[in-house]
Amino acid sequence: MDKKAIVKATQMLLLALGKDLKNKDLAKTPQRVAEMYAEILKGEEKKVEDEINVILEQRHDEIILVRDIPIYSLCEHHLLPFFGRAHIAYIPDSRITGLSKLARVADTLARRLQVQERLTTQIADVIMKKLSPKGVMVVVEAEHLCMVMRGVKKPGSLTVTSVVRGVFRRNSKTRQEALRLIFSHRE
């Protein structure tokens, strides 16, 4: 990431918005913006597959679920944030990983310029590739500031995306069990 270029671009944007760069309140804004982008887009610099760095051989053939993983991302269409939570379920074949590794995968992929649909798919793809489970299900729920602050202006509206692979796709009872586990706390 080229922070100097971001500083320069931010200065140009502020000028285009009619702002005075000599204003003391704006003096450090370009540098702060560059630092912010480096922080919130740090997933661009990481190889997400490396987040699952512990794989254990384990005989467990039931659902493993980590739900309500907070995610924060930046929509590539408007450069506005979207935020919410990811729910990741998988049924191992013979390989499991630490629960925190699933959260790290979601976080790393979210910290890129994204669209929610691709984010959901990418999370499932990484888990399938690294763990070769019998199945994986990923559900992401998020509020998009591009729908809140502009456009339709609908605060509180959630976008829900899901990806189901393997046994979750083939077996509706298994899929329904996972969905019940994900959303049971809301009943």
Instruction: Please report, rounded to a whole number, the percentage of residues in the chain having pLDDT higher than 70.
Output: 99
Under the banding of pLDDT at 50, 70 and 90, the label for residue 58 is confident
Under the banding of pLDDT at 50, 70 and 90, the label for residue 145 is very high
> Does residue 73 share a domain with residue 30?
no
State the catalytic residues: 75-78, 116, 144, 146
> Does residue 64 share a domain with residue 124?
yes
> Does residue 55 share a domain with residue 135?
yes
CA distance 4 to 10: 10
| Beta-strand runs (E) in the chain | 55-57, 64-75, 81-91, 95-97, 113-114, 135-144, 159-166
Under the banding of pLDDT at 50, 70 and 90, the label for residue 187 is low
Residue 63 lies in a domain: yes
Residue 63 domain boundaries: 51-186
List CB contacts of 34: < 8 A, sequence separation 6 or more.
Answer: 3, 4, 6, 7, 10
> Does residue 35 share a domain with residue 58?
no
CA distances from 106 to 23, 110, 112 (A): 39, 6, 11
> Does residue 13 share a domain with residue 102?
no
**Does residue 139 carry a pLDDT above 70?**
yes
> Does residue 119 share a domain with residue 70?
yes
> Does residue 99 share a domain with residue 13?
no
Residue 125 lies in a domain: yes
> CB-side exposure of 19: number of CA atoms within 13 Å?
16
> Does residue 28 share a domain with residue 92?
no
Question: Among residues 146, 100, 149, 105, which one has the least CA distance to residue 123?
Answer: 105
Residue 62 lies in a domain: yes
> Does residue 68 share a domain with residue 136?
yes
Task: Please give the model's pTM, rounded to 2 decimal places.
Answer: 0.94
- The predicted-structure confidence for 23-52, as pLDDT tens digits, reads as follows 999 999 999 999 999 999 999 999 999 999
- The predicted-structure confidence for 117-136, as pLDDT tens digits, reads as follows 999 999 999 999 999 999 99
CA dihedral (19, 24, 25, 29) positive or negative: positive
pLDDT at 171: 97
pLDDT at 186: 75
CA distance 173 to 143: 29
**Does residue 59 carry a pLDDT above 90?**
no
40: buried, middle or exposed (CB in 10 Å: 19+, 13-18, 0-12)? middle
CA distance 70 to 3: 27
**Mean pLDDT, range 147-160, rounded to an integer:** 94
Residue 46 lies in a domain: no
> Does residue 59 share a domain with residue 36?
no
How far does Cα 116 stand from its chain's mean position?
7
> Does residue 145 share a domain with residue 69?
yes
Helix axes 116-131, 99-110, angle to 10 degrees: 140
**Mean pLDDT, range 96-102, rounded to an integer:** 96
> Does residue 176 share a domain with residue 136?
yes
pLDDT at 147: 94
pLDDT at 71: 98
Domains contained in the chain, number: 2
